[in-house]
Amino acid sequence: MAVNLNIKIKKKDLWLLSAIMIFLIGVGYVVAYDYLGSIPNPGHGGDNVFIHINGASKDLQQAITNGNFNDCSLIGGSFSGNIVQGHSGEDIIINVGGNIKSLQESINDNSLSSVDSGTSPSNFGDLSHENTGDEILIDMGGSEKTLQQAINDGDFTQKAVYLNIGMSINDPVGLSRLVVATVTVKSCNSGGPLVQGAVVDGHWTTASVFDESPGTTNSAGQVSFDFETYSLLGMDVSFTVDSVTIDGQSYELAGETIDTIIT
C-alpha cells in the first residue's frame, strides 16, 4: 500500500527553518575547534577541557586563543558551567615544575605562568591518573602539541621579571665612597619565586654614565654591583637595570628598575 505524504510549508516558515539551520551551523564552528593533528585516544582537544580564568568560565583552547594566559597574575576559580563532553580543569592532572596538581589548581596558584621550561616532564607520580596533560591536544599559536609538552616547553611561562634594588654605602674612607646596588629578581610579580641564574645588566649614573659588567643572580635571586666614587658628600648615585636575560631569552622588566642614593 502506497502512502503519499504531502507537507505544506509556508514561505515564512521556510525562512525560519533556514535561519535556524544557519545558526546551528555557526554554533558548530564556534564550539568545535579544528585541530590538524590527531587527538590522543583516550583524550580530548583543548576545547573539551573547561576552566575558570580571569573571571570567566571557558574551554582551555578558547582561553589560549583569547590570550588569557598572557598575564603573570592569573585569577582562578572553579568552572561553573555544565559539561556535556570533556572534563573540568580539576580533572586534568599535570606536572608543573615537578609538582603534580590539577590544571585548575595551577591556574589558581599562578604556578603555570611562572614555571621554568624543561622542568615539567610527562611524569605524574606513582598514582595512575586517567586524565593527564599528555592526553590533551592544544594549539599554541599554530603549533599543536599536548598540554604537558606545552608546559614543559615554557609556552605558558610569562617572560617577565619583577625587580627590587637595594642601595647602600660601605664604611667611607676619606672622600672614597663604595656604593653597592643589590638587585633581587623574582618571576612575574612581587609574589613570584626568586630566580637563580638570571643575567642582570645595568649602568651607574652620577655626573656621567658608567656601564657595569653583567652579573648573575644567586640562589637567593640576588646579584650585587659596586661603584667607587671619590666625591664630596651629597652626590646622587643611581643604578639602573637595563636588561635581564634567562637562558638567553630577554624578559620584560617590572617593579623597581632604578634606585638612587646620596653619598
Given a contact cutoff of 8 angstroms between Cβ atoms, the answer to whether 234 and 211 are in contact is no
* 49 and 148 co-located in one domain: yes
Whether residue 240 is found in the same domain as residue 177: yes
Could you list the beta-strand ranges (E) of 48-169: 49-53, 56-59, 87-88, 93-96, 99-102, 136-140, 143-146, 160-169
Is 57 within 8 Å of 81 (Cβ atoms)? yes
14 within some domain: no
Contacts for 100 with CB less than 8 Å, ≥ 6 apart: 93, 94, 124, 125
Tell which of 152, 178, 207 closes a domain: 152
- pLDDT bin (cut points 50, 70, 90) of residue 32 is low
Q: Is 72 in the same domain as 99?
A: yes
Which of 136, 146, 145, 149 lies closest to 49 in space, CA to CA? 136
Domain boundary pick from 82, 117, 152 = 152
Which of these three, 103, 125, 152, is where a domain ends? 152
105-156 per-position pLDDT tens digit: 999 998 898 788 899 999 988 766 669 999 999 999 899 999 999 999 999 9
Is the predicted pLDDT of residue 7 greater than 60, yes or no? no
Domain count, the chain: 2
Domain residues for 85?
40-152
What's the confidence (pLDDT) of residue 22?
Answer: 45
139 & 165 share domain: no
Same domain, 132 and 165: no
Spell out where 98-135 has E strands: 99-102
Q: What is the pTM of this model?
A: 0.63
Same domain, 128 and 167: no
CATH code of the domain in which 243 resides: 2.60.40
- b/e string for 168-179 if b means 16 or more Cβ within 10 A? eeeeeeeeebeb
pLDDT at 253 over 80: yes
Q: Is residue 8 domain-resident?
A: no
Structure confidence by residue, pLDDT tens digits, 59-74: 999 999 999 998 777 8
Confidence at residue 58, expressed as pLDDT on a 0 to 100 scale: 96
**Same domain membership, residue 128 and residue 175:** no
For residues 50 and 146, membership in a common domain is answered with yes
Does a structural domain hold residue 10?
no
Asked whether residue 13 is domain-assigned, the answer is: no
Helix (H, G, I), strand (E, B) or coil at 151: helix
pLDDT reported for residue 117: 86
Of these ranges, 22-26, 113-117, 152-156, 163-167, the one predicted with the greatest mean pLDDT is: 163-167
**First vs last C-alpha separation in the chain:** 109
Q: Is residue 111 included in any domain, yes or no?
A: yes
The amino acid occupying position 52 is H
Same domain? 218 vs 119: no
What pLDDT score does 126 carry? Answer: 74
Identify which has the larger pLDDT, 174 or 162.
Answer: 162
Q: Tell me which residue of 60, 66, 247, 44 sits closest to 159, measured CA to CA.
A: 247
Q: Are residues 148 and 165 in the same domain?
A: no
Q: Where are the beta strands (DSSP E) in 97-235?
A: 99-102, 136-140, 143-146, 160-169, 176-187, 199-205, 209-211, 215-216, 222-230
Confidence of residue 231 (pLDDT cuts 50, 70, 90): low
Plot region of 125 (φ>0 → left; ψ -120 to 50 → alpha; else → beta)? left
State the pLDDT confidence band at 232, using cuts at 50, 70 and 90. Answer: low
pLDDT band at 29 (very low <50, low <70, confident <90, very high): very low
Q: Is 19 contained in some domain?
A: no
